Structure 1
């Protein structure tokens, strides 16, 4: 009798499945990165799957294997950007030190503006046009996230650990201040009289934005501003 091996029966070894999974994830990330750059340059209407395929150096068929349409790919790009921003703070706890939590958040948000400026611009264009693609995500997942973090803020406020200011508007201020270094970088470099922002410029920006947020909330500074590594995602 012929021995029936797993592969003979149509079952691939686990190592082969894991390898395909890793390749698939690398391709998916490669496509998202390329799409982020193209959408930043062209906007949603101007971008084409052909240009994104060329940017990613993958066949167009590969794009459509992972993302069924340009809209699906665009939604994935914008959602990926937003999830990276939210991950920069994580899920804070009432047992955390508010100054440490907010200092780290500003640092990591600024790092994302430095490392993924195209992503920030894509997100800004989506919002400027009325959030036609991710409006439901904003009203759902983002709103839920802000409510969870806001509940922690309110505990800190009841304990007298920070000024009684609207958590929602604190987040709006942090997002606006940190993302301006990506969305309006030509204005920033023009005013500073430089061709591009260097690490020292970002370090000064982080320290300034952190001081504004902490002092506004009546919190003492915890660490000097520095450029932190952005979370992977």
Structure 2
């Protein structure tokens, strides 16, 4: 009978997989907890219960509630930023901006918790994000504004404020997560995928035409 030899690498890989799965469960549970109770009202015990893990496991990965909250916020920022991370002045601006709008609306549909947590943090004066807003965020948005300004210099996009263009996209797309209750009251039913598809078409039409562009079908 042939014996299966388990190498150290295989064991490490299995351990890494378990750690990633555990962290994902913890961050998902923490997101729901922070969304419902905010930072001050949230409980590590309830997060452990939601994640179906011992409380000691939570502290193994995150030393305290603040570290866990920081990890949740970091995940949100990384998720949002990646959709517009690699834009270049040589890109087609209509396609790049359209793809960004699509991605932002997809996040609002599939992960509204992220947008709600982020909005709550900002509405409370960004006590835990102030350092990020003064450093990495300023660099990120300055880089994107530079590309948009280069598109303008090339005559690819109307001469408008790059910063306010981004603010408008954020407001229009994140509204569907942050104010879903209001939208559903207006529609007299829950939001569905078709609503988000219609929102994509509408917002892209307004933004692109407002910038002097159109998206080729």
Same fold (TM over 0.5): yes
Describe the SS at the equivalent of 2:56: helix
Q: Which residue of 1 is the match for residue 3 of structure 2?
A: none
Matched, 1:147 2:152: no
Provide the aligned C-alpha RMSD in A: 1.3
Residues 1:176 and 2:171 are matched in the alignment: yes
Offset at residue 190 of structure 1 (A) = 0.8
Distance 2:196 2:216 in 1: 18
Select the structure that is richer in helix: 2
Partner of 1:114: 109
**Unaligned residue ranges in structure 2 (runs of 5+):** 1-5
- Structure 1 residues 188-211: Cα deviation after superposition (integer angstroms, max 9, x where no partner): 1111221x1111111111111111
Aligned to 2:204: 210
Matched, 1:123 2:87: no
**Cα displacement string for residues 32-86 of structure 1 (whole angstroms, at most 9, x for unaligned residues):** 1110011101111111000111111111111101111101100110111111011
Q: What is the CA–CA distance in structure 2 between the aligned matches of 1:127 and 1:208, rounded to whole Å? A: 27
Alignment partner of 1:76 out of 71, 74, 81: 71
Q: Is the 8 A contact 1:91 1:149 kept in 2?
A: no
Aligned counterparts of 1:79 and 1:212: Cα–Cα separation in 2: 31
**Aligned counterpart, 1:89:** 84
Structure 1 partner of 2:156: 161
Q: What's the CA shift for 1:131?
A: 0.4
Unaligned runs of 5+ in 1: 1-6, 224-233
- Report the counterpart of residue 49 of structure 2 in structure 1: 54
Structure 2 residue 65 is matched with structure 1 residue 63: no
Q: CA deviation at 1:145?
A: 0.9
User: Are 1:99 and 1:219, in contact at CA under 8 Å, matched by a contact in 2?
Assistant: yes
State the alpha-carbon separation in 2 of the partners of residues 203 and 170 from structure 1: 21
3-state SS, counterpart of residue 89 of structure 1: coil
Aligned partner of 1:38 in structure 2 is 33
Question: Post-superposition, which runs of at least 4 consecutive aligned residues in structure 1 deviate over 4 A?
Answer: none
CA contact (8 A) 1:103 1:222 kept: no
Distance 1:64 1:42 in 2: 20
CA distance in 1, matches of 2:162, 2:41: 37
Report the CA distance between 1:162 and its aligned residue. 0.2
